[in-house]
Amino acid sequence: MELYQQLVTKLKELNIPFEIVEHPPALTTEEADTFIEGIDGVRTKSMFLTNKKKTAYYLLIMDDQKRLNMEQFKEITQANRIKMASSDSLMQKMKLPPGVVSIFGLLNNDDHDIHVYFDQEILDEKRMSFHPNVNTKTIFVDTPDVLKFVEALDYNYQKIEFNDH
C-alpha cells in the first residue's frame, strides 16, 4: 500500500485529478477490465521490456486490445533484440511485481534509466486507466495529466505509431 500512497501524494502535489476504483486483485488486463466496465477511459497495457544485454529498459504504454509487434518496436528502439524484462528486473527497476506495471512505476525508478514510449493511438483518447502500483485498484487519469506526470518526474517520452500489419 506504501507505493500506492506515494503515488496519491505525488498526484496531489502535481494537482492531477484522478478517479480510483477499488476491486479484488486483478492479475490480467482482461480481469481488471471486468471491474471497471462502463467507466470512460482507454484500458492500457503497460509492458516493461529490455534489450538482450539488459543494458536498456523500455516502458511501452498501449491499448490493452492491441498486440505488440516486437519486430517493429525493435526497429523503433534500434535495439538488437527486445524481450519482456524479468520479474527480477521489474522489481529492481520499478519495485513492482508482475501484473502491476504502469507508468506510475517510474516513481520508483531510482536509476532514472527507463525509456518511455506511448502508442499514438491512446494519446488521442481523453483519459487512460492503469493500476496505481497495486492490482486491487484501477486509476483513471486524463491523458494530458498522464504526460504531465511523466514530465514532472523528468522523463522524456516518445510517441510511436505501429503499423496494423
Instruction: Please indicate, yes or no, if residue 50 is contained in any of the structural domains.
Output: yes
Nearest to 29 by CA among 88, 85, 98: 98
Please say whether the beta carbons of 134 and 21 come within 8 A: no
Cα separation, 115 vs 138, whole angstroms: 23
Model confidence, pTM: 0.94
- How many structural domains are present in the chain? 1
Q: Which domain holds residue 78?
A: 2-13+38-160
Rounded to 5°, angle at Cα 87 from 35 and 165: 70
Per-residue confidence of the chain (165 residues) as pLDDT tens digits?
599 999 999 999 999 999 999 999 987 777 888 899 999 999 999 999 999 899 999 999 999 889 898 899 999 998 888 999 999 999 999 999 988 999 999 999 999 999 999 999 999 999 999 999 999 999 999 999 999 999 999 999 999 998 764
**CATH number of the domain bearing residue 97:** 3.90.960.10
